[in-house]
Amino acid sequence: MKVVIIDDEKAMHLIIKRLLGKITYVEVVGCFHDTKTAYSFLQSHEVNVAFVDISMPWENGLDFAKRLRETNSHITLVFITSHKEHALAAYDVYAYDYIVKPLSQKRLQQTVERINLEKMAHEERGTDTPPNLLETLTKREHEILRHLSSGKSNKEIAVTFKLTEGTVKNHLVNIFGKLQVKNRVQATVVAKKLGVRPPIG
């Protein structure tokens, strides 16, 4: 798996490289302090995953991601940032994951392993076969999606699973990203198409 790191802080380059270095099948092929040089590199090199900061000078990570998507780039985007408030906007550019600093080995490895497993499954199916998006959801995310598709509010879902509303929102952000949708309505439509059944009662 070929990856690049885009962050204006040199310290983050070192941290992310060190953590990724513990995953044998990952190769860091580029580290960039700004999006301009990163964009140029991505236009001429094969890269599977880009780890992108959001708060950067000249162009932030979200605008950079929009620019990438406009060129039909299918590179997997993972945002690593100190800012929680941009999570929903990140999924508007079809981010795969949104990791809030401080970054841990376990959190990063979980994301990378999930990307790798989905990539291998996709290759086994063949490029003409669409992926089963439900396979990317955790058991808890699948259950929350069932309740979401039945029209329940965040508060109602939180009560059902004995979670805080904030935790439910975080789960929804992950669900939206994995289903490649932008909001609750789209998630409900996709869920119904994929045969997700609302809970009984």
Q: Please report whether residue 153 resides in a domain.
A: yes
Q: Please report whether residue 201 resides in a domain.
A: no
Structural domain harbouring 138: 133-193
Q: Please report whether residue 95 resides in a domain.
A: yes
Give me the CATH number covering residue 113: 3.40.50.2300
| Distance in angstroms (rounded) separating the CA atoms of residues 51 and 70 | 18
| Distance in angstroms (rounded) separating the CA atoms of residues 41 and 120 | 25
Does 13 share its domain with 94?
Answer: yes
| Distance in angstroms (rounded) separating the CA atoms of residues 128 and 145 | 27
Does 9 share its domain with 97?
Answer: yes
Give me the CATH number covering residue 177: 1.10.10.10
Domain count, the chain: 2
CB atoms within 10 A of CB 140: 14
| Distance in angstroms (rounded) separating the CA atoms of residues 86 and 10 | 22
Does 120 share its domain with 140?
Answer: no
Does 116 share its domain with 174?
Answer: no
pLDDT tens digit at each of 201 positions of the chain: 999 999 999 999 999 999 999 999 999 999 999 999 999 999 889 999 999 999 888 889 989 998 888 875 778 999 998 878 877 777 777 788 889 888 999 999 999 998 888 777 766 655 444 456 777 788 899 899 999 988 889 999 999 999 999 899 888 988 888 888 888 888 888 888 888 887 765
